[in-house]
Amino acid sequence: MRRHPSQARAQRTYGTVLDAAVALIEREGIERATTRRIALAAGVSIGAVYEYFPNKESIVLHLGTNWLRRIREIVEALHPSRSAIPDLLGYLNRILGEVERLYRDQPGLLAVVRLIGAIPELREAEHAHDAAVIASLTSAMRHFAPNADPAEVQSAANCMLIMGHGVLSACLVAQIGDAARLLRMLRVSIYALVTPILLSMHPPGAERTAGGIPAA
Pair 30, 107 in one domain = no
Q: What average pLDDT does this structure show over 30-41?
A: 87
214 three-state secondary structure: strand
Q: In the predicted model, is pLDDT for residue 212 greater than 60?
A: no
Q: Please give the tally of structural domains in the chain.
A: 2
Residue 127 lies in a domain: yes
Residue 208 lies in a domain: no
Q: What average pLDDT does this structure show over 46-55?
A: 88
Pair 119, 39 in one domain = no
Residue 170 lies in a domain: yes
Greater confidence (192 vs 117) lies with: 192
Q: Quickly state the pLDDT bin for 205 (edges 50, 70, 90).
A: low
pLDDT of residue 5: 60
CATH number of the domain enclosing 16: 1.10.10
Q: In the predicted model, is pLDDT for residue 118 greater than 60?
A: yes
pLDDT of residue 107: 61
Q: Which of 66, 64, 72 is nearest to 135 (CA)?
A: 72
Pair 13, 61 in one domain = no
Residue 207 lies in a domain: no
Contacts of 40 (CB under 8 A, 6+ apart): none
Pair 25, 78 in one domain = no
Pair 46, 73 in one domain = no
Range of the domain at 92: 57-201
Pair 196, 100 in one domain = yes
Q: In the predicted model, is pLDDT for residue 119 greater than 60?
A: yes
Q: In the predicted model, is pLDDT for residue 204 greater than 70?
A: no
Pair 17, 117 in one domain = no
Pair 177, 86 in one domain = yes
Q: Quickly state the pLDDT bin for 90 (edges 50, 70, 90).
A: very high
Q: What is the pLDDT of residues 136-194, one digit of tens each?
A: 999 999 999 999 999 999 999 999 999 998 898 888 777 888 889 999 999 999 999 99
Residue 69 lies in a domain: yes
Pair 22, 111 in one domain = no
Pair 40, 69 in one domain = no
Exposure string over 143-163, b if 16+ CB within 10 A, otherwise e: ebbeebeeebbbebbebbbee
Contacts of 103 (CB under 8 A, 6+ apart): 109, 168, 169, 172, 173
CATH number of the domain enclosing 107: 1.10.357
